[in-house]
Amino acid sequence: MPTLRYHYNVVLRPEPEGGFTAMVPALPGCVTYGRDLNEARRMVKDAISGYVESLKKNELSDHGRA
């Protein structure tokens, strides 16, 4: 089975105390932080991956319910 690839828009917001908050509007609650832009980008990739994996697990467990 081929691997599906998805693309998500990410909002990077500079924080007054330093660093950047990264938010994914299409994935409610998918928010992370990095001390610089590179770290914020790495962190948001990881957050998206974890979010999607959680959705897959929940979908699989929901199919088992009657």
pTM for this model (two decimals): 0.82
Strand partners, 21: 13, 33
**Number of continuous H segments (helices) and E segments (strands) in the chain:** 1, 3
The amino acid that residue 24 corresponds to is: V
pLDDT, tens digit (0-9, with 9 covering 90-100), for 3-49:
778 899 999 999 999 999 999 999 999 999 999 999 999 999 999 99
